[in-house]
Structure formats: structure tokens, C-alpha cells
Structure 1
Amino acid sequence: MIGKLDDYLRFQEAALSLRAKRQEVLASNIANADTPNYKARDIDFASALQNALKPAAPAGQMATTNPAHIAGAKDAGTLADGTPVLFRSQIQNSADSNTVDMDTERNAFADNGLRYEAGITMINQQIRAMLAAVQGGS
């Protein structure tokens, strides 16, 4: 029963988690708008969500093809859960080589925030529907 509830809410859980991480990346871009040589970053949300919804690999050691491979090395271009963080291409030239465009960042930040709130609303509706089913539709 619990497994089915987890499956029912897994999509929204994964989407909300990725939206929260994307919000942090976008906030970092806004905070570093005046930092010389800072490169704006973002997450490819669609592919990250597809990866998050794939069945998890069995727990244990990472498979290697050669005994000389280094185990467990973390890539600097990923978040803690392995979500790749991509760099944005430069929209306008700047004297300090900073690629943050504040209009783009503000729009992405607001859009992501709205989508996060929509996800919260969807999960609330799913929980209400489950409660109504358990309580007999009242």
C-alpha cells in the first residue's frame, strides 16, 4: 500500500525537488551578477526529471570496467544528487566576461517559482483526493 502511495506521488516529489534545486542555481546566478568571470548556470529540467524518474540502480558499489578506475569521484559540474549543471551561453558581451543577464535570470527565477507553487497545488490536490477516497468520498 505504501509503495503505491509513493508511486502516486513520485512525479510531483521529483519535480518539486528539482525545482527547488533550480531555484538555488538561479539565485546563485543573481547573487553573482557583478562577479567578474562568473558563468551563469542552469539545469536542463526536462532531462533531469527524466533521470530522476528512472528506476534507481541497486545499492552498492559503482561498476567499473578497469581496476585502475577511481571509485566515487564527484563531478564538479553536478549537484549533490548527480543532476548536471550546465553553463548558459553569453547573451551580451560584458567587459568583465560575466555571462549573467539579469532580465533572463529574473524571468527564469519567477517562472520556476510559479511552477514550484503549481507543483505544491497539484500535490495538495492529490492528497485531498486520496483522503476523500479513504474517507468514503465525503
Structure 2
Amino acid sequence: MAIGFDSSLGVHIAALRLRAQRAEVLAANIANADTPNYSAQDTDFSAALRAAAGQGRLAATASGHIQPGSAGDGRAELLYREPTQPSIDGNTVEPEREKALFSENSVQYAATLRLLGSRIEGLMSAIRGE
């Protein structure tokens, strides 16, 4: 059984991709804080990471089965957020909440990047025979 480079990095690559996607979604929410009727979106990082890691993935075992959706594209499903303080113009973005979530996601992105970097350093040490 051959071990590929991607499999040796574990779920860190998928986690990094999902964190980057979440940063885009949260930034879009912040940018549209004053747009009437804009609905704030977010991702369920845990569910997306489980799907990326292959847990809970659907499989068609017979030709008559309905084929799984395109969840295997590496992107998380976008969900709409329920506001805690609805606005008059229908916008569901709460700027302070979005900024806090964006900051938290940024810290988690950096941590995932450090873990991935450490993993790559370990692989490079193994390749060099150190």
C-alpha cells in the first residue's frame, strides 16, 4: 500500500481550505453589513471537516441508488445565520459578531497553518534521513 503525500499531511490541508472558505464568507458578511435584506452566511466547519475526512460520506453501493451530491468538492455547505437582533431593513449581519468570528477563524487558520508546517518539516527531516 503506497502512502501519498496528501495522506501523510492528514486533514490539515482540508482544514486549511475550509478555514480559508469560512474567512471569505465572514468577510462577505462584514462587507454587506449595510446591504438591505442581506442574509448572513456561515459554514459548519466540523461537519465540513468530517465530510472532507471521509466520515459520513455517502456511497452508492448499487446502480439503482441515488448518487451522492457534489459535497466532495472540498467546499463547505453555506448556511444562513439566525440573527439575535433583527434589523428593520431585513439585514441579518451583526457586525460585532462577524468580526469576532472572523478573528477566531483567523487564529484557527494560523494554528492549522503552523500544524501543517510542522508536519511538512517532519516529512522533510525523514526524507533527509535526520
TM normalised by structure 2 equals 0.82
Question: What's 1:38 paired with?
Answer: 38
What is the alpha-carbon root mean square deviation over aligned residues?
A: 2.8
Q: Which segments of 5 or more consecutive residues in structure 1 lack a partner in the other structure?
A: none
Residues 96-105 or 47-56, more deviating: 47-56
Question: What's 1:111 paired with?
Answer: 104
* 3-state DSSP of counterpart to 1:123: helix
Question: What's 2:5 paired with?
Answer: 5
Q: How many residues align?
A: 125
Structure-1 separation of matches of 2:89 and 2:32: 12
Alignment of 1:48 with 2:69, yes or no, is: no
Structure-2 separation of matches of 1:128 and 1:83: 28
Question: What's 2:29 paired with?
Answer: 29
After superposition, residues 1-138 of structure 1 pair within 5 angstroms as 3-54=3-54, 81=74, 83-137=76-130
Residue identity opposite 1:84 in structure 2: E
Q: Which segments of 5 or more consecutive residues in structure 2 lack a partner in the other structure?
A: none
Residue identity opposite 1:27 in structure 2: A
Q: Percent identity?
A: 38
**Runs ≥4 in structure 1, deviation > 2 angstroms?**
1-5, 55-58, 63-66, 80-83
Structure-2 separation of matches of 1:7 and 1:45: 20
* 3-state DSSP of counterpart to 1:42: strand
Cα 1:105–1:127 shift into 2, 3 Å = same
TM normalised by structure 1 equals 0.77
Q: Shift of residue 9 of structure 1?
A: 1.0
Q: Shift of residue 81 of structure 1?
A: 4.6
